[in-house]
Amino acid sequence: MRVKSFVVYMLLCADGSFYIGSTTDLDVRIAWHDEATDPFCYTFSRLPVLLVWSETFSDWSEALTRERQVKGWSRAKELALVEGDWGEIQRLARPKTGRSTKAGPK
């Protein structure tokens, strides 16, 4: 019996942007992006696309949580993920020092 897996993936689009998504079959999903049959899909006008990162999960909710997390990251942090630079990801995750958290004048 094959255990179902869930994949979160990142594509590099022809315009230099990233597309992040999730699927249960990565090969089929990338082929779907390459076919460009859905004009409402982000990648439709940004072909070709290249798979630059993926992570597999055994639980759908964990995959969805990871997808949402990565979608909220800065481009610099996404690039560090693609490069597998965990030190840079941690550095970028730290809060900036010297910022005031006090509200301005009313």
pLDDT at 98: 61
**Mean pLDDT of the 86-100 span:** 82
CATH topology for the 6-86 domain: GIY-YIG endonuclease (3.40.1440)
Query: Rounded to two decimals, what is the model's pTM?
Result: 0.85
Handedness of CA 58, 83, 78, 39 (dihedral sign): negative
Find the length of the chain: 106
100 pLDDT tier (thresholds 50, 70, 90): low
pLDDT digits (tens, 9 = 90+) for 2-59: 678 999 999 999 999 999 999 999 999 999 999 999 999 999 999 999 999 999 999 9
Which H helix or E strand runs over 23?
Answer: strand 18-23
pLDDT confidence tier of residue 94, bands split at 50, 70 and 90: confident
